[in-house]
Amino acid sequence: MVHWIEGQTGLWEIVIGLEIHAQVTSRAKLFSGAATSFGRAPNTQVALFDAAFPGMLPVINAKCIEQAVRTGLGLNAHINKYSVFARKNYFYADLPAGYQISQHELPIVGPGLVAIDLSDGTSRTIRIERLHLEQDAGKSLHDRHPTLSFIDLNRAGVALMEIVSQPDMHSSEEAAAYVRKLRSILRYLGSCDGNMQEGSLRCDVNVSVRRPDEGFRTRCEIKNINSVRFMIQAIEYEAHRHVRVYESGGRIEQETRLFEASSGKTRAMRSKEMVHDYRYFPDPDLPPLTLDDAFIEDIRTSLPELPDQKKSRFINIYGLPAYAAGILVEDRETAEYYETVAKGRDPKTVANWVMTSLFGALHRSGREISDSPISADHLGQLIDLIGDGTISSHIAKSVFESMLETGQEPLAIVTAKGLKQVTDSKVIEQAIDAVMRRHPDKVALYRGGQVKLLGWFIGQVMKATDGKANPTKLSTLLKERLTES
Ligand code: ADP
Ligand code: MG
Segment (H or E) for 83: strand 82-83
Domain co-membership, 294 together with 317? no
Measured in Å, residue 169 CA sits from the centre of ligand 1 at: 12
Measured in Å, residue 272 CA sits from the centre of ligand 1 at: 11
Of 229, 264, 299, which residue constitutes the final position of a domain?
A: 299
Domain co-membership, 103 together with 182? yes
| Among candidate residues 124, 154, 143, the one with its CA nearest the CA of residue 23 | 154
Closest ligand 1 atom to Cα of 217: 23
Domain co-membership, 202 together with 154? yes
Domain co-membership, 311 together with 286? no
- Rounded to the nearest 10 degrees, the angle between the axes of helix 425-438 and helix 440-447 is 100
| Any ligand 1 atom below 6 A from CB of 255 | no
- Rounded to the nearest 10 degrees, the angle between the axes of helix 172-189 and helix 228-247 is 150
Domain co-membership, 96 together with 158? yes
When divided into structural domains, the chain yields a total of: 3
| Any ligand 1 atom below 6 A from CB of 18 | yes
Q: Which residues are CB-contacts of 244 (< 8 A; sequence separation ≥ 6)?
A: none
Domain co-membership, 161 together with 19? yes
Structural domain range at position 435? 425-483
| Any ligand 1 atom below 6 A from CB of 17 | yes
Domain co-membership, 330 together with 224? no
Tens digit of pLDDT per residue, the chain (485 long)? 457 899 999 999 999 999 999 999 999 999 999 999 999 999 999 999 999 999 999 999 999 999 999 999 999 999 999 999 999 999 999 999 999 999 999 999 999 999 999 988 889 999 999 999 999 999 999 999 999 999 999 999 999 999 999 999 999 999 999 999 999 999 999 999 999 999 999 999 999 999 998 999 999 999 999 999 999 999 999 999 999 999 999 999 999 999 999 999 999 988 877 777 899 999 999 999 999 999 999 999 999 999 999 999 999 999 999 989 999 999 999 999 999 999 999 999 999 999 999 999 999 999 999 999 999 999 999 999 999 889 988 889 999 999 999 999 999 999 998 888 888 889 999 999 999 999 999 999 999 999 899 999 999 999 998 888 888 889 999 999 998 86
**In angstroms, rounded to a whole number, what is the distance separating the alpha carbons of residues 330 and 345?**
22
Q: What is the pTM of this model?
A: 0.89
Measured in Å, residue 167 CA sits from the centre of ligand 1 at: 7
| Ligand number with the minimum distance to the CA of 275 | 1
Number of Cβ within 10 Å of residue 385's Cβ equals 23
Domain co-membership, 156 together with 246? yes
